[in-house]
Amino acid sequence: MLKGSQKSGVNKWLLLSTLLLTCFGIVIVYTASTPHALKMGLPPEYYLKAHLWKVGIALILMLAASKIDYSVWKKGARVVFCVGIVLTLAAIVAGGSVKGANRWIWGIQPSEILKLGLIAMVCAKLSAAGMEIKSLKCSIIQPAIPFGISAILLALQPNYSMLLLFAGILLAVLLVAGARFKYVASVLGGCIPIGLIVLLIKSHTSKRILAFLSPDQYQGSAFQGQHALEALGNGGWTGTGIGMGMQKLGYLPEAHKDVVYAVVGEEFGFMGTFFVLALFAILFYQGFEIARHSSTRFGKYLAVALTVSLFLNFLIHVCVSTGLFPTTGQPLPFLSFGGTNLIFSALFIGILLNISRADAGKKIWEPYMNSADGVESHSYEGFDYSRSEI
């Protein structure tokens, strides 16, 4: 299996897979967005040019993050989280409503900033817990505070798919950190029924769920999902060819955003979708390898959280495009039309690249953890835990 080098700079396989996905994304955005641009009376290259600017910003941020020691995210966790709170509140109060949701302000989606702040806050708290990681305070109470604030803000927008993504990230980090399982399971057992009730009560989410379960009875809400499946079926093994897909011609609303994977399947066929899946598999594997080899607990938890975030984004988008999940508006990292998600996905990769450096994280000091707790690994052997930073 592919393994990135930990002795010669950054993880090269992670970098290569990201760059290939980004380049392929430029092609897909152009072919998927051209019909929509013409329909809006815009030049055919309109969305491509806008996407290229954002790709440039994303690559610059990725390069910068790969050079900055990841300890900065531990020190600045509260600042990032507070900025995310303020901007998300601003989007709710003053942002424009799009399809019944207030998720954007000044052209950005502040929930992405909130997500990075939540990840950094939780990872910082868990890495500083030391031998108290099994306590109720460290396992539930401390992580629940920033997550609860985030959950309220996301519910007010509303943005339930992002809320589920936040919950998945938090659960993964808690399990990796060694939080007491009975506490985590108890909270999950109480929250899952409440979450399902909320989703069924809200009209726009309940319609999507009903359309997913009975598409013939709710054809209006099931329209996009059904045509995404038709697009994948039309592609066959090798696809219809670049620019030759039919479903993007009005049958897939904003095909360059929420169902871009279906466009890949139609125009590049099974071979194209397999290529995309293979690149993402390499990316996720390398992300978890970086976590496994990190010299600090904070680096380990941060790498897991960032990788899981990208994975869940990928999973939701692909499952929606293939009819396995109800329709929702999650972009496919690096392939969907550029925006806040593209920029923050690249930023996440940059942080992972920095964690993969052998000399990174040496400014971080963490309390000693008893190996009997089952969360210490060989990667911490010889590391100096004599000082702590909280």
Q: What is the pLDDT of residues 28-52, one digit of tens each?
A: 999 998 888 888 889 999 999 999 9
Q: What is the pLDDT of residues 218-257, one digit of tens each?
A: 655 666 777 788 888 888 898 898 888 888 877 777 778 8
Mean pLDDT of 178-200: 77
Residues 315, 300: Cα–Cα separation, whole Å: 22
Q: What is the pLDDT of residue 363?
A: 80
pLDDT band at residue 387 under the 50/70/90 scheme: very low
Alpha-carbon dihedral angle through residues 102, 107, 108, 110, given to the nearest 10 degrees: -40
Q: What is the pLDDT of residue 218?
A: 61
Q: What is the pLDDT of residue 372?
A: 39
Residue 313 token pair:
């984004």
Residues 135, 14: Cα–Cα separation, whole Å: 35
Q: What is the pLDDT of residue 215?
A: 67
pLDDT band at residue 101 under the 50/70/90 scheme: low
Q: Is 239 helix (H, G, I), strand (E, B) or coil?
A: coil
Nearest residue to 366 via CA among 290, 299, 307: 299
State which of 207-211, 324-328, 366-370 shows the largest mean pLDDT: 324-328
Largest pairwise CA distance in the chain: 65
Residues 174, 178: Cα–Cα separation, whole Å: 6
Residue 376 token pair:
């210490």
Q: In sequence order, what DSSP letters do the residues of 263-307 get, joined into one string? A: HHHHHHHHHHHHHHHHHHHHHHHHHHHHHHH-SSHHHHHHHHHHH
Least confident of 30-34, 65-69, 89-93, 362-366: 362-366
pLDDT of 350 strictly over 80: yes
Q: Do residues 298 and 127 make contact, with C-beta atoms less than 8 angstroms apart? A: yes
Question: Would you say the pTM of this structure is higher than 0.85?
Answer: yes
Residues 310, 124: Cα–Cα separation, whole Å: 20
Mean pLDDT of 167-182: 89
